[in-house]
Structure 1
Amino acid sequence: MKEKTMNRARLTIALGLAALTAACGKKAETPVAAETNQAAPAATMSGDMGNMAMAPAARTAIKAKGHGTVTAIDKTAGTITLNHGPIPEANWPAMAMAFKAAPAITDAAKVGDKVDFDLTLTGNAGEVTAIHTQP
């Protein structure tokens, strides 16, 4: 009887390991979670992102526009953090988020500026490609 129980336990463990091994190479089929969003190199996102779904993770770039306020600039990292309104092209709600930006953009903006900006979204990464200060 004890041997039969041991064999069942071994079979259960073997089946569990086989299932785990089979699942190792598969990607999740659910929307990308906020923690994996690579547009923000640091923990700079805030707001209600519970139902945030990324734009299709295509390899082609998606152009988007936004409005917001500059909350931080890191010239060394080449990022600009914007507290922006919803961005429909990316299916993003309003939030604060860091984006890659060229030196010309980080040099042109100041913390506290209210801005209109253009984004290029590739997969899960975003880059500010133009920024215009609102009067």
Structure 2
Amino acid sequence: MWDDLAKQFKKDEIEQLPRPIIIVVSSCRVSKYRDVQLETTPATFYYINPQTKEAADAYTMFKEKYEFNPPLQVCKYRYVDPEQEKTRNRQTLYPCYNRIRQASRYNFKAMVTDGTATTEFTFFTEAGEKITGHPCSHLREKFEATDKT
């Protein structure tokens, strides 16, 4: 967002709203730079939690996902104390051993680097299917599992 539209965006007020927040943006221009992106125009406007059926459906869907897997709370600002800074956004992620064991799900790790640092990511079912191009159940049927958990 640019110019007046960006100045009207009341980020502090919006951050106080209950999650998830549905933002509908109208009258954007679609452009292509590496991927598809939306650009604002003089006619662009945004609506926060609009009272429409589509927004209510989206809210219900995202609310279920949000409650099942809430986003991590991230501190955006650096601490002055170096010891606090070392652990400011460190989170413990607990494995879900007691979830449904009959279903086939992806769970694999990858080391990712941006040239300045390297971190380990864990990919689950949706991302795993996109990366491999196969539903996990197909691979499970094709190959015998070495570890039943």
Which category of TM-score, normalised to the shorter sequence, fits these structures? Answer: under 0.3
In the superposition, the TM-score normalised over structure 2's length comes to 0.24
When you count helix as a share of all residues, which structure comes out higher?
Answer: 2
Larger Rg belongs to? 1
In the superposition, the TM-score normalised over structure 1's length comes to 0.25
